[in-house]
Amino acid sequence: MTGTLDTVAALDTAEAIARHAGAVLAEHYQRPRAAHSKSALIDLVTEADAASEALIVAALRAAFPGHHIHGEEGGGYGPAPDETPYHWYVDPLDGTTNFAHRLPIFSVSLALSGPDLQPILGVVHAPLLGETYKGARGSGATLNGQRLRVSSVPDLAQALVITGFPYTSWTAEDNNSARFGHFLRRVQAVRCGGSAALDLCWVAAGRCEVYWEEGPHPWDVQAGILFVHEAGGTVSDYAGQLSHEALSGRRILATNGLVHAQALAVIQHGDGAPRPTPSA
């Protein structure tokens, strides 16, 4: 499927687009914030989302007119999805709530995938952190030019794990709070970064050992899934399979591979999962 695509050139183009979109976000970040509710009070969307996506979509359509584009804010662009083997997943601002509250942990995420949601290449650019992650299937992944490798932590008790919560956390029956508690009692520490794309990047970079979440969308996770795989990690759904559910972010678990079975046990068994023995 990738035979007619120059992945090196496509990745360079995607990186340039992501950097331009990041500059737009950085410029908006300095302005007084204008935000309104997209679907709930805590689901904020800002002017920056629309400006970033408009730039990305225009640039992708010009560079890849035969590709379909799935955009978070505006829907589909280009040929119909069933008319092309190339699908871009665009998150123009992942970490919108962080952005709206002036927390500089947010990113632009672009991924090119096949119809089966198997990512081909991706870029995640965090403009205020000065970090650009990129990679292509079979060619590795990098952070600012340095090769990504997952950590060598072998035990969940030594792991730093990261997760997120749904925008509907006030009303959702499963808002991840119980699972958060299950992990809290079995790991070194739990964090919530607020950008699923960056959470996956941090697993790939060896900064944390586990990321799990229920509810992200393909544009949140496709690039990060590629990076975790290329860095030597493991991605699955909550049953341990690399299913459509995992690739779409519906239920996703990403780890350094060494602690994957232990993390799955926490997800599947909750309070019944083994606990570490406290040191004397």
Domain borders along the chain are 7-147, 156-269
The tokens for 247 are 């690739």
Q: How far is CA 59 from the centre of its chain?
A: 21
Q: How confident is the model at residue 279 (pLDDT cuts 50, 70, 90)?
A: low
pLDDT tens sequence across 131-177? 999 999 999 999 999 999 999 999 999 999 999 987 777 777 788 89
pLDDT tens sequence across 67-87? 999 987 667 899 999 999 999
| Helix, strand or coil, per DSSP, at residue 45 | strand
Instruction: Give residue 30's pLDDT.
Output: 86
For domain 156-269, which architecture applies?
A: 3-Layer(aba) Sandwich (3.40)
The class of domain 7-147 in CATH terms is: alpha beta
Q: Is the pLDDT of residue 200 over 50?
A: yes
Tell which residue, 126, 274, 139, 141, has the closest CA to residue 204. Answer: 141
Instruction: Give residue 1's pLDDT.
Output: 41
pLDDT tens sequence across 244-278? 999 999 999 999 999 999 999 999 999 999 998 77
The answer, as to whether pTM is greater than 0.85, is yes
Query: Exposure string (b/e) for 22-49, b if CB count within 10 Å is 16 or more?
Result: bebbeebbeeeeebeeeeeeeebbbebb
Tell which residue, 202, 228, 194, has the closest CA to residue 91. Answer: 194
Q: Is the pLDDT of residue 40 over 50?
A: no
Handedness of CA 246, 21, 132, 211 (dihedral sign): negative
| Helix, strand or coil, per DSSP, at residue 265 | helix
Q: Is the pLDDT of residue 2 over 50?
A: no
| Helix, strand or coil, per DSSP, at residue 39 | coil
Residue 28 has, within 13 A of its CA and on its CB side, a CA count of: 25
